[in-house]
Structure 1
């Protein structure tokens, strides 16, 4: 039986969804701007071999608001493991959740395994774009930053009541275009809606988004990978999202950097997943579930 509950993480409540079962526990973490509902299809695919618990990260979904730091978010996960009575859970995360999984593995060597599903900071540095002419790389990074700045400004803004139905229809179309489960996709959209004082807005807020962006932009995963002693798997994309296509050269260079970064750590396992974009959780949930389970089993879980 699937069980939704709020747990007390000290400074804020955390929403969790327990998919049940008696198999070894696995924490499954969503990306920035998402929530636990977006991980439902992958959670269901993992459930035969794991007790899967998904979490709304702070500032997302039905969890409380609080300052965004790596320490705070990792403290939230620790609270989940204690209050859900999870014995050494594996941690699997997508995007922001993948970065948290990597940091968890570094700090918790007793963890049976962590998996990052394209849990990588976005491209922000010329030196992380091998093969691109530096001046071109700098110009493209500046152009990309403007787009992210515009997106950040729009976060948390009130949605006019007469536009809400149109936004739902846009989400339905997006689900169909991506081949996602429409019911699950819409739950994810609605779960991030906030209704207060007669207004509707979306989570995370612009403030939380700014904090998360700063953390991701400053994060260097190379020393994290090097210092991690528990088994770790990094799954990398091989193609662009539609919105990334105008920056095709930049993202191709960044993918080369991510492969080089992972390959430089001898004990780290990594895989460039064929025909997968950053949205791999939606595109190939069954394949990812098999990869994750096989990795954890073969790592001696």
Structure 2
């Protein structure tokens, strides 16, 4: 039976404090990583269910939630080191690393750091220009540069404290559209809040770290990594398109539709040709953790049972 959940702090190698939530439990260990701009709150619907048969720990990535920023730039290499620090501090060095979105990319990278297995839940980034089916590579490169600049400009943007109600209102609308409990989204927003010196609020990561994070994701060669993995990797992909994002350019939906086709093609080929990689479909949007918690628990539990450390 799972133990009572506790909040704790792990100190990374460079002294940064990493916020950790330990759900207890017995059995094969798993470490849960959230996506960019999110927090460990996203795992609340899933972690207690997993803890019925696993030792479960979740963390806020550096620059997110209640974890510190640190003095060094945000890179995936630093994120992997942070994961290793948490695994060591909590006595679970052989945990299966399970991540969503950005966390899924980091989880896959942990395979080369010694993780026995990893789960990437819909963590694909923006990919390569050649993956955008039906669109010219020069056009895609231009649009990707614009999309990344848009994300950089939006990341950590300060807003007046009285505008928080509007931010939460957007979360309420999204919760209603996706059938997600609003309280879960509100807790995530409040855990993400930072404050500037002049009293304005922002959603972590802050401007500088958000820009570094975008650069880090753009530089990842995920499919090259997938083709060389020697340990089990489960990749879950969302089958449903995401709801519209306010303020994005009008061409963004076309770009993402083309990318979805390319991802489907490339992941299908990967599943056929790489024996250590399993590709699974989830009948949800990118917000699959919040929409389909029971389905995610079944996927992760089955995979860990087959491939986790004993």
TM over 0.5: yes
| Paired position in structure 1 for 2:9 | 6
Residue number among 120, 127, 130 corresponding to 2:130 in the alignment:
127
Cα deviations across residues 11-48 of structure 1 (Å, max 9, x unaligned)?
21000001112232210000111111112112123121
> Match of 1:78, SS?
helix
Q: Does 2:26 align with 1:22?
A: yes
Structure 1 262/119 Cα, relative in aligned 2: closer, same or farther at 3 Å?
Answer: farther
Question: Please, what TM-score do these two structures have when normalized by structure 2?
Answer: 0.87
* C-alpha distance in structure 1 between counterparts of 2:308 and 2:102, whole Å: 26
Matches within 5 A, 1:65-80: 65-66=69-70, 67-80=73-86
State the Cα distance separating 1:127 from its structure 2 match.
1.6
* C-alpha distance in structure 2 between counterparts of 1:107 and 1:91, whole Å: 11
CA RMSD, 1 decimal: 2.0
Structure 1 196/127 Cα, relative in aligned 2: closer, same or farther at 3 Å?
Answer: closer
| Paired position in structure 1 for 2:247 | none
Matches within 5 A, 1:250-269: 250-269=259-278
| Paired position in structure 1 for 2:220 | 219
Matches within 5 A, 1:70-149: 70-108=76-114, 111-123=115-127, 125-129=128-132, 131-134=133-136, 138-140=138-140, 142-149=142-149
State the Cα distance separating 1:144 from its structure 2 match.
4.9
* C-alpha distance in structure 1 between counterparts of 2:268 and 2:64, whole Å: 30
Q: Does 2:152 align with 1:152?
A: yes
* C-alpha distance in structure 1 between counterparts of 2:240 and 2:269, whole Å: 17
| Paired position in structure 1 for 2:248 | none
State the Cα distance separating 1:245 from its structure 2 match.
4.0
Structure 1 256/284 Cα, relative in aligned 2: closer, same or farther at 3 Å?
Answer: same
* C-alpha distance in structure 2 between counterparts of 1:50 and 1:209, whole Å: 33
Kindly indicate whether the alpha-carbon contact (under 8 Å) linking 2:116 and 2:308 is maintained by their aligned counterparts in 1: yes
Cα deviations across residues 119-145 of structure 1 (Å, max 9, x unaligned)?
22213x33223x4142xx543553354
| Paired position in structure 2 for 1:297 | 305
> Match of 1:256, SS?
helix
> Match of 1:233, SS?
strand
State the Cα distance separating 1:90 from its structure 2 match.
0.9
Kindly indicate whether the alpha-carbon contact (under 8 Å) linking 1:28 and 1:39 is maintained by their aligned counterparts in 2: yes
Farther off after superposition, 60-69 or 195-204? 195-204
* C-alpha distance in structure 2 between counterparts of 1:15 and 1:261, whole Å: 35
Which 5+ residue runs of structure 1 have no aligned equivalent?
Answer: none
> Match of 2:78, SS?
helix
> Match of 1:28, SS?
strand
State the Cα distance separating 1:56 from its structure 2 match.
0.5
Cα deviations across residues 246-273 of structure 1 (Å, max 9, x unaligned)?
4423432333233334433232111233
Structure 1 209/262 Cα, relative in aligned 2: closer, same or farther at 3 Å?
Answer: farther
Which 5+ residue runs of structure 2 have no aligned equivalent?
Answer: 245-251
Number of residues of Structure 1 aligned to a counterpart in Structure 2: 294
